[in-house]
Each structure stands twice: as structure tokens, then as C-alpha cells.
Chain A
Amino acid sequence: MIRYAARRLLTAVLLLLVISFLAFLLQQLAPVDPAEAVLHAQGVPQVTSELIAQKKAELGLDRPLLRQYASWLASSVQLDFGLSYVTGKPVWSLLGPAFMHTLQLTAVSAAAIILLSVALGVYCALREDAWPDRATRGAAFLLTAMPPYWLAAWLVWLFSVKLDLLPTSGMDSAASFVLPTAVLAVGYAGVYFRVIRSSMIAGRNEDYVLYGRANGLTERAITRRVLANSLQVAVPMFGMAVPILLGSTVVVENVFAWPGLGTLSVKAILGRDYPVIQAFVLLLASSFVVFNAVSEVLSGLLNPRLRKDL
């Protein structure tokens, strides 16, 4: 097991290196000269070619590409991503708080998604093909076919405008979490509960269930055991869900004016603020890799059969 975990983490580190190089290349591909952009951001009134050359030397942009990459990586690891082209502030001072806000939204939504999918999955599996099961699946089908921002707009219209119960946007109180979380949770749980449902239905036909019944276990105890086995499928799935969620709150954040990464990144793209875009990509792709590695190691712990793959 330790060897499996070590190999898995080594792959993750290699992957992180490749990803960071790609993120580094982003700026090289961008049509804006970094030295010039930084001068503009610092409010230099007259940008001359001497100033640009001077800035280039200062920022180390005249060095070979790999050397630049190395120093960029070294400072990135220390969360120094340079200055925003638009505001002139350090990138991390914008990205850090936004990341925390997105993490909060992701954590609350992930908890809601896990609770909702496990509850609905078990509920529907126990009532396979009866009307509550069909109705839930039908509703989930419809809800997952809806654009999340469309659903969000209607929820705002109903709960904030007509009923005046919840705030329309921002992140001021616990009530601010309700609508964004609902939109995110509905979309994901509507898909995930089906996996839990079908794996529970499949699990109920296993031999150990028959054995348990023959031994006089109560239905409740059997359901608990079947669920425990279904979690083998669910844990890696939820492990994947967290980073996917982290990267896809973009739309919901923008609808609810959530001060998070999604809002920041769209603003950065529209303002062509490359250091922010670059740091955003690096940050999210790294969290994705780390979460994946951790959840794979966790599933390896739960299910020894998976360890042989590597």
C-alpha cells in the first residue's frame, strides 16, 4: 500500500511539473509584452523602448526560456505570481481571498451534494421502479438538462424578488450560500445519486446479502452493508467532484456575484490580465491533480483490487 501511494504521488508530482510548464507557456503565447504591460500597470506615463528593455532585464525576460521557467516556478511555489496588469497589485492579493471564497462555496456545495446523492440514491434504490423512484429520477433528469445559470435566475426571481427571503447576490451572510449551493448541488447530485442508486441495486444481488439474510440480519443492517460497499464507487466519484466543482463554479459565481475565482477569472479574461489568468490556471489545475491523487490513494485503501493498476 505504501508503495502504491508513493508511486501515485510521484506521478502526481511529474504531472504538476508538466502542468506548470504549460501554464508558464500561456504567457509566452499571449499577444502582450509582459514588460510593457507591467510598466502600464505601474502607471508609467511615457513607455519608451529603453524603459521596456530596462524592465525586461529587471524581470529577467531576456534570459533563456527554461531559466525563466525555473525562476517563475520557484516564485510561484512561494505564491508570488507577479503583478496584475490591470490593477498593478500582486496577483496573490487578488487570487488568495477569491480562492478562499470559492473554497467555502465548494465545501458547502460538496457537503450538500454528498448528503443529497447518498440520501436520494439509497431512497430510490430501496424503492426501485416504484413511483417515488421514478419521480425523483424524472425530476433529476429535467434539472440536469437545465442550464445552471437559467435555474439560478429563476431561483433568484422566486426567492429573492417575489418572496424576498434570500439575498440576490454577494457573500454577506449564511443566507447568501443557499441559492448558489442549491444550484450547484442540484446539478451534481442529480447525476451522482444515479450512480449510488444503481450500484446499490447491483449490490443487493450479491451473495453476502443472501448470506446476511440467511443469518437473520435486519433489512436495515443489510442496507447499511450494501451502502458501505457502494461507497467504493462513490468515494472516488466524490473525490473527483470536488476539483471539478472548484473549476466549474464560474457560471454560478458570476450569476450571484460571488467574490470568488470564477468571477475573478472572467474579469481577468475580459481585461486580458494574463498573470491572473496564468495563476488561476496553475492553482486550479494543481488542486485538481492533488485531489485526484489523494482520492485515488483513498480508494486504493478502500478497495485493494484497484492497487494493481499501477
Chain B
Amino acid sequence: MKRISRLLSDRLALLSLAVLAAIAAAGMLAPWLAPHPPDEVNMALRYGPWSLHYPLGNDQLGRCVLSRILYGIRPSVLLVLAAVLASVLIGAAVGMAAGYAGGRTDALLMRLCDVMLSFPGYVMTLAVIGVLGVGLQNILLAFILMKWAWFARIVRSSVRQIADADYVRFARTLGTGSLAILFRHILPVCVPELAVVASSSFGSTLLQVSGLSFLGLGIQAPQAEWGMMLSEARQSMFSRPELMLAPGLMIVLTVSAVNFLSDAMQQAVDPQAGSSKRHQPERAEAALIGREVA
């Protein structure tokens, strides 16, 4: 029974991965897959129903909804992913430096992280957009500025746990250089946990970025982005609620896949989660704060 359920959860993870890969591929291949240019206005087809030429219908300007969804993958998913990866890289670098160097460097870098983390997410983002002006790139910049500290803390605490392990001491005795030890012996141990937190933070970031675009603080018209599309659809939602469906469901699908994957990874990293006595609550909490609901 246990094996079956584990297999099933693995299958779900595989399915989620497949869904995400398909979405990413569709985003990259949007110019070839989209049946129409995403900005092509056709007032004769306003609020057009689903048809063969326009599989998801037309929006308030007669633009092809499917094409806009496909092009929207780029800012809504791919750019957000890039921003999360950037903050993971920065966080990993700072975390490894702090954890491995220890002493004053560690204390200084960690206080810096404290300051960064003491700004609630949205406030930091709004502050950055407030100074630099509205726009998707500024939102993403704000996220990178904020999230690296979170990843740095996680990597740092893993590094500190491992830095004194016997095999690391052994490598040091053999005269292995610091960088080699970091990359060959310490980094691989941190990766699984980092992947769990990064993936759950990807889901929440995606929701938050789309929310800011929805408020008009992100990408500007006529560019296609899911949050932006929802904000346009909301104007006519009492007469045409169906326009809210496609972009909203795409966000739900993407975020669900990301969250499934992240939960499955957490299970794989720590199969004890859910039954273990000691470690479990803190771990769950760490993952949850990373997710930081929008």
C-alpha cells in the first residue's frame, strides 16, 4: 500500500514536470504555435465565441485569446522562473561564503539578510516599484533583491552543518582547496533542500507577480501577460465572465504543477515528513514561509 501511494505520488510529480515542461516549451515556441499575432486587434470579432480559427475566442478588442495566453507564458512564467533562479544563485553564493568563512563575514552577511527579510514581501516590492516606476522588470528586480536573503539563510545553515563533517575535514587534511571543497563536497548536499524551497517560492512568486500585473503595476498594455489579461477581463466580467477563465485556469494549472512538484521533492528529500517526530514541523514551516501566500 505504501509503495503504491509512493509510486502514485511519483507519477504525479512526473505529470507535473511534464505539464511544466510543456508550458515552458509552448512559451518559447509561441511565435510558431500561436495562430494569430497576440496584438492583432479586430473590432469585428469583439467577444467572439470559441471557434476553429480562434480556439479560445476573442477578447474585448477582438484579439485571439489563445495567442495571448501562449505569448503570456513568457512574462508570466519564464521570466519569473529566471528571477527565481537568479535569486537562488545569489543566495547560494552568499550563503556558501557566509557558512564556510564563518566568523565576522558570516555575522555581517547574516545581519544583512535579517534586514532584507525584515521587509514584508509586498512592501519591498512596492517600494522598489515606487522608486523605479511601474514595469515587469522592476517587479522582478524587487523579487531578486528580496528573495536572495531567504535562500542565503538556507544554504548557510546547511553549509554550517556540513562544514565540520568528518569527510570535509578529511578533504581539507588532504589539502583540497576551499573552492573545491565547497563545490564538490558541500554544494551537492545543499541542492535538494534548496530545490524544495526554490520551487515552492517559484509558485508564490508567480502568483504575486501576476497579482501586481493585475493591479497595473507590472507589464503595460498591449503586451500579453496573464495577470494583465485578467485585469482587462475584469472590466467586462459582469457581461462576459468567460474571459476570466482561460488566464485564471492557466495560472491555477501552473501553480498547482509547481506546488505538486515541490511537495513531491520534499517527500523525496525527507521521506520522514509527516510521520517523523522531531524535525518535521520546522521543515514544513520553512517550506511554507518560502511559499508565503500571496
Contacts and interface: CB of A to CB of B under 8 A. Distances in A.
B291 A187 contact: no
Contacts of B118: 15, 19, 285, 288-289, 292
A240 B119 contact: no
Interface string A230-257: 0001000100100110111011001000
B218 to A, nearest CB: 12
Contact of A274 (B115, B130, B212, B256): B130
B73 interface: no
B203 A145 contact: yes
Given A18-B115, A147-B210, A269 B293 contact: no
A270 interface: yes
A246 B215 contact: no
- Chain A's interface: helix, strand, loop or mixed, by majority? helix
A42 to B, nearest CB: 22
Contacts of A146: 248, 251-252, 255
Contact of B114 (A15, A153, A265): A15
Interface string A135-178: 00000011011111110011001000100000000000000000
A198 B280 contact: yes
B62 interface: no
Given A150-B251, A268-B130, A285 B120 contact: yes
Interface of A: 15, 18-19, 22-23, 26, 29-30, 141-142, 144-150, 153-154, 157, 161, 187-188, 190-192, 194-195, 198-199, 201-202, 205-206, 233, 237, 240, 243-244, 246-248, 250-251, 254, 265-266, 268-270, 272, 274, 277, 280-281, 284-285, 288-289, 292
Given A146-B251, A247-B121, 20 more contacts: A142-B256, A145-B252, A147-B207, A147-B227, A148-B207, A148-B294, A149-B214, A149-B230, A150-B230, A157-B241, A201-B275, A248-B122, A266-B126, A269-B130, A270-B216, A274-B130, A277-B131, A281-B119, A285-B119, A285-B123
28 contacts: A22-B115, A23-B127, A141-B256, A145-B203, A147-B211, A147-B252, A150-B244, A198-B281, A199-B280, A201-B275, A202-B276, A202-B280, A233-B281, A244-B120, A248-B122, A250-B126, A250-B215, A254-B215, A266-B216, A266-B217, A269-B134, A270-B134, A270-B216, A272-B130, A274-B130, A281-B119, A281-B130, A285-B118
